[in-house]
Structure 1
Amino acid sequence: MQENEFYSLVQEDGHLESMDSAQAASEAVLATLGETLTGGQAEDVAAQLPDGLASILEDTGHDGAGYDRDQFVDRVGEHLHETNVEGDDAEQFAEAVTDAVAAALTDGEVENLKGQLDEELQPLFEDVTVDPEQI
């Protein structure tokens, strides 16, 4: 998957007005995801993402924060406050970005990723609405 394809998926699924907004939402969600993973898992996920997206995960402190769903969404909203994207829709954006991430990853890597997440976060990577065949 190319970076522009990733952002297009996020823009469509997240009902965002522009590609710039999709990029800002993606960066906020990926930074938050990076915070909740350990370094090794973040590297494994990053290896299957386009370079620009991979660097967001790689450059985040990987402290294994273990956010539950509410904490994750709140943290995405905090990251969005630094952008032109409204943080009130952070949950919608988190779902759109994680769907795109899941579509970019192999099934095995999605399972490995879910294994490191709080069980409340795991559903973000299930029932993905993006069809990888359409990418």
Structure 2
Amino acid sequence: MQENEFYKLVQEASHLETIDRAQVAAEAVFETLGEALTGGEAEDVAAQLPPELASIVEDADHDGTGYDREEFVERVSDHLQGTDVEDADAEQFADGVTDAIAATLTQGELQDLKAQLDGDLHPLFEGVAVDPSDA
């Protein structure tokens, strides 16, 4: 999948007006996700993403912290500070971006990703509302 196709999925799933806003939202979620993973799992996830997005996950400070959903959304909101994307909508963006991630990753990698996350975050990657063939 190409970077612009991924952003179209995020735009659709997050109900954002522009691709630019989808990019900002995606970067905030990828950075937060990267922080929540160990370095090895971040590399595995990154291997299935467009290179531009992969670098965000790989370059995050991987501490493997087990964020629950509230903490995850709060960190996404923090990463949105100073952008033109409303940080108050961080939960909507987290849900939209994780839908796009779930549509992009193989099932095996998606299961490995979820295994490293707090169970409270698993619903973000389930019931995916976007179809990668629509991008």
TM-score interval (norm. to shorter): over 0.9
Cα distance, 1:18 vs structure 2:
1.0
Q: Output aligned runs, 1:45-56, within 5 Å.
A: 45-56=45-56
Gaps of 5+ in 1: none
Percent identity (aligned) = 67
Gaps of 5+ in 2: none
Shift of 1:120: 0.1
In the other structure, the counterpart of 1:29 is 29
Q: Distance in 2 between matches of 1:83 and 1:30?
A: 15
Q: How does 1:28-107 map to 2 (within 5 A)?
A: 28-107=28-107
Alignment RMSD (CA, Å): 0.9
Partner in structure 1 of residue 111 of structure 2: 111
What displacement does 1:49 show? 0.2
In the alignment of these two chains, the number of paired residues is 135
TM-score (norm 2): 0.97
Separation in 2, partners of 1:30, 1:132: 18
For residues 74-119 of structure 1, what are the alpha-carbon distances to aligned partners after superposition, in whole Å with 9 as ceiling and x for unaligned? Answer: 0000000131100010000001000101111000000000000000
For 1:97 and 1:31, how far apart are their aligned partners in 2? 12
Query: 1:37-69, CA deviations, whole angstroms, 9 ceiling, x for partnerless residues?
Result: 000000000000000000000110100111000
TM-score, normalised to structure 1, is: 0.97
Distance 2:82 2:111 in 1: 31
